[in-house]
Amino acid sequence: MESAEIARRFLRFFEERGHTVVPSASLVAEDPTLLLVNAGMVPFKPYFLGQKKPPYPRAASVQKVMRTLDIDEVGKTTRHASFFQMLGNFSFGDYFKDKAIPYAWELLTTPEAQGGFGFSEDRLWVTVFHDDDEARDIWHKQVGVPLERIQRRGLADNYWHMGVPGPGGPCSEIYYDRGPEYGKEGGPVADENRYLEVWNNVFMQFQLSAVRTKIDFDIAGELPAKSVDTGMGLERMAAILQGVDNIYEIDTTYKILDRAAELTRSRYGRDHRADVSLRVVADHMRAGVMLVGDGVLPSNEGRGYVLRRMLRRAIRNLRLLGAGEERYMHELTATTLAVMGEQYPDLKSDAANIHTVIDAEETSFLGTLRTGTAIFDAAVEENKRKGVTVLAGGQAFQLHDTYGFPIDLTLEMASEQGLQVDEDGFRRLMNEQRQRAKADSAAKKTGNADVSVLGEMLDRAGRVDFLGYDHTVAEARVIGLLVDGASVPAAGAGTTVEVVLDRTPFYAEGGGQLADQGLIRSDASRVEITDVQSPFAGLIVHRGKVGDGEIRVGDPVQAEIDIERRRAISRSHTATHLVHRGFRNALGETAAQAGSENSPGRFRFDFTAAGAVPASVLRDVEDEVNAILINDLKVHAYHTSLNEARSMGALALFGEKYGDEVRIVEVGDYSRELCGGTHVASSGQLGLVKVLGESSIGAGVRRVEALVGVDAFRFLARESVLVAQLAEQLKTRREELPERVEGIVSRLRTAERELERLRSAQVLAVAGELAAGARDIGGVSVVTHRAPDGTSADDLRKLALDVRGRFPGDRAAMIVIAGVPADRPVVVAAVNDAGRVRGLKAGRLVGVAAKALGGGGGGKDDVAQGGGTRPESIGDALTSVTQAIQETLT
């Protein structure tokens, strides 16, 4: 039974029993306490906590899930995976153990021909929480499971929570006995390799506050209603129903693994090390494609870091399998899209964008591997010279943070060199970095407020009405105040405060559009609003400072936005839509929006692209967009269903999350996008759009910056004045300026080349003198020299090689030349064949000098180059090299 069929049967079973089938939410969690969705119940968390009223009493879903804590274990075992799918049925106070338990048993044991999964009852075992007699009795008395196949377990095994404050409760799990060939008898408590968990019934009863570990947490109280969260891992179920030993051999994963084996000419099952690499590639390709499909882009922090880490682990394991410099990620991405596309059709429509992002990351990392390996080699040489057998945690972290080296790659390379790595030091630095990133992210979304405080506020107040599409001023009531993250009844003059109203015209930052600014006034107070955020769907938080008086919870107020700022931002937002359409027309549908920022009079637009956009394309897009402005097309916004919007061809922001009902913004027949932002009434109100240029902001992502409206006119006016000044100074007409400037630049370059030739000749003129003045150290001719400041790095290298060439072949020679080409010092070392026979290596010695200069470097044994940040230490660097030569020779 294929994975897609397993999912269909599960959803059909529960739909027939009154459950609403809910599509999978994005892997990008709305919950600010989570980096990624890590459980099937995450999208329903507000319903369990009572923060929102559920739109249905019971639901069923197949939810995409990512577990980042398991990444290091992926491939080493056949049980760990970073991405998987959780089949779940949920009750929000509608039913509890009495129905959840029989439902699970019925679906598992109903014959396949009748729509079930066909498990033999005598091969199923059950576990319950140690004091849950109610669940035990239901299993035995109602379902008929023999007592000897019902086992009690403690917190570590039969209590579930998210790992963060939220809902939790005891659980009851169902295990499948795979037979004596997989382990010893005795049920799950004896051997979880033989007895494989297939279903987990979680009985949501309690609100957890502080969560320290899996078994150490505080219970704040009971949930508003007893609910059910049950989960069945699709991959694990597929392994059993498809008769394979592990999750890497099921249909969706094995096809990727098999393609990787084919590309690298490997064979799964023949060699443990190769098997581990193939499993890593298969798992991480699934995870990577799903993350990119949900709009995550590779970066060095947050979700982007998780994606980058997995893609780079996949690339690295392909190299271990023998891929070398070959690029196989495109092929593997295509395979992954094919096997996962049946369950997630959006992957097929986003295929071009997903390919672009992953291909670019592969190109970037292959270059990183070359650079990082050179840095690693230099660090190893330095450690060996000092007799140190442990690579410092800071060095491993630098390789990871600066050069993108996965820690397991550093560990493996160090092991090959007979070194260990200070993993504890590395993990400590990594944790510090993660905590900083997490704190920054949480602060942005919640203003450092306790998430539970905001949740309670949303629960108490209900959804805040946004009036900003039609109103710039509105009467409202204060329903909540926060100072330093804590709820307060009032806030006086001079206090920085966060204000929650029951209704507001203020637009909260989102969808690339900056927040509104303005005033909230009451009879007794005035608050200047500088930022507006929406930490939870339906909750809008105004941040500002109390200027006069005292604002209190319950006060009637008038909320008034800065109209001119709103109009300027709206012009930018509409312009972004037009530029998006223009680039798609010019470059194809692969030019998908990957982010934006709409500011007053200015906007930036990020999109996926394989390489730089030619200047001619930028001009064509700009001309096309401005033609739309001249035509003054009407801008129209309306709501419809997501399916209807897709059938109309409306563009969705790559990876954005949308509900069942969406808002469409149309600019005539030219542009149609899903968007919740504010816009102008007609395209003519934009006045003018001026594209300033484009640049790269990451692998596979380009950024265009542009001006709109008055800011664009002012920019062109300044440009016109500048052109007039140049024409006056150069005594030529405007239209002849390019040719005139090109001529001047050409003559200047010719003069610079001649000056460079003269400087080089002057530098090299001292080569004979340096060779003649070489010192003898242990039978080796040693030259150390500081070149005049301004000598280029290329000339330093030429001089070192010239001096080296002046010694006879049987005379060992070592030359080290240092200088300051600009503001940073550079050092070059060169050694001849006879010198290398004596044990001298240019790469090691240049590393010694570079360290004294506060930097690093490396290279081959015959010639190497490094640099640093302390030009005043060149003398110390040359002295340290001389000492290192003496130590080597003695």
pLDDT at 446: 45
Identify the domain containing residue 551 by its residue range. 451-561
21 is a domain residue = yes
Q: Is 171 annotated as a binding residue?
A: no
The reply to whether 45 and 182 lie within a common domain is: yes
- Based on its alpha-carbon atoms, the radius of gyration of the chain, rounded to whole angstroms, reads 33
Phi then psi for residue 179, to 5 deg, are 115, 165
**What burial class does residue 545 get, using C-beta atoms within 10 Å of its C-beta: 0-12 exposed, 13-18 middle, 19+ buried?**
middle
Please give the single-letter amino acid code of residue 147.
L
- List, for residues 656-712, the tens digit of each pLDDT value: 556 668 889 999 999 999 889 999 999 999 999 999 988 887 767 888 999 999 999
Q: Please tell me which of 35-49, 97-111, 433-447 the model is most confident about, judged by mean pLDDT.
A: 97-111
- 757 within domain boundaries: no
CB neighbour list of residue 446: distance below 8 Å, 6 or more residues apart = 32, 454, 485, 533, 535
Does residue 202 sit within a domain? yes
Torsion on CA atoms 128, 129, 131, 132, rounded to nearest 10: -50
Same domain? For 31 and 133 the reply is: yes
Same-domain check for residues 219 and 268: no
Asked which of 657, 690, 717 is the last residue of a domain, the reply is 717
Q: Which of 46-50, 274-278, 424-428, 853-857 has the lowest mean pLDDT?
A: 46-50
Digit-coded pLDDT (tens) for 718-738: 888 888 888 888 888 888 888
81 shares a domain with 12: yes
Predicted confidence (pLDDT) at residue 445 exceeds the cutoff of 50: no
Does 285 lie in the same domain as 430?
Answer: yes
Of 511, 537, 561, which residue constitutes the final position of a domain? 561
CB atoms within 10 A of CB 264: 22
Domain co-membership, 527 together with 581: no
* 25 contacts 46 by C-beta, under 8 angstroms: no
Measured in residues, the chain has a length of 890
pLDDT at residue 783 greater than cutoff 60: yes
Instruction: Spell out the residues 6+ positions from residue 816 whose beta carbon is closer than 8 angstroms to its own.
Output: 782, 783, 784, 785, 800, 827, 828, 829, 830, 845, 846, 849, 878, 881
| Number of domains forming the structure of the chain | 5
Q: Helix 423-446 to helix 302-320 angle, to the nearest 10 degrees?
A: 140
Residue 752 lies in a domain: no
Is residue 406 domain-shared with residue 460, that is, in the same domain?
Answer: no
With contact defined as beta carbons under 8 Å apart, do 493 and 550 qualify? yes
Q: Is 675 annotated as a binding residue?
A: yes
The answer to whether the beta carbons of residues 91 and 11 sit under 8 Å apart is no
Confidence of residue 32 (pLDDT cuts 50, 70, 90): low
- Does residue 494 fall inside a structural domain? yes
Residue 400 in marked binding region: no
Pair 653, 511: CB distance under 8 Å: yes
Instruction: Return the H-helix or E-strand segment holding 84.
Output: strand 83-91
Q: Average pLDDT for residues 106-125, to the nearest whole number?
A: 94
Same domain, 435 and 495: no
Q: Which residue pairs, CB below 8 angstroms and at least 24 apart, start in 831-835? A: 831/804, 831/861, 831/862, 831/863, 832/804, 832/807, 832/862, 833/809, 833/862, 834/809, 834/810, 835/780
Q: What is the CATH number for 772?
A: 3.10.310.40
What are the pLDDT digits (tens) for 479-509?
A: 989 988 888 999 999 999 999 999 999 999 9
Task: Reduce the DSSP state of residue 521 to 3 states and report it.
Answer: strand
Distance between CA atoms of 484 and 755, rounded to whole angstroms?
62
CATH number of domain containing 617: 3.30.980.10
Q: Provide the pLDDT confidence category of residue 399 given band limits of 50, 70 and 90.
A: confident
> What is the Cα–Cα distance from 404 to 416, expressed in whole angstroms?
20
Residue 325 counted as domain residue = yes
Model pLDDT, residue 106:
95
Instruction: Please report whether residue 749 resides in a domain.
Output: no
Nearest Cα to 888, choosing from 834, 841, 833? Answer: 841
Which helix (H) or strand (E) is 853 found in, with range?
A: none
β-strand pairing of 863-867 with 857-859: antiparallel
Whether residues 68 and 186 share a domain: the answer is yes
Are 421 and 278 within one domain?
Answer: yes
The pLDDT assigned to 449 comes to 47
Helix, strand or coil for residue 695?
Answer: strand
Instruction: Give the CA count within 13 Å in the CB-facing half-sphere of 545.
Output: 3
CATH number, position 540: 2.40.30.130
Q: Which of 126, 97, 123 is nearest to 109 (CA)?
A: 123
DSSP 8-state code for residue 48: H
| Residue whose token pair is 């990727």 | 256
Give the DSSP H/E element, type plus range, for residue 661: strand 661-667
Same domain, 223 and 332: no
Q: How far apart are CA 83 and CA 23, in angstroms?
A: 17
Q: Is the same domain home to 69 and 147?
A: yes
878 domain residue, yes or no? yes
The residue among 414, 443, 472 that closes a domain is 443
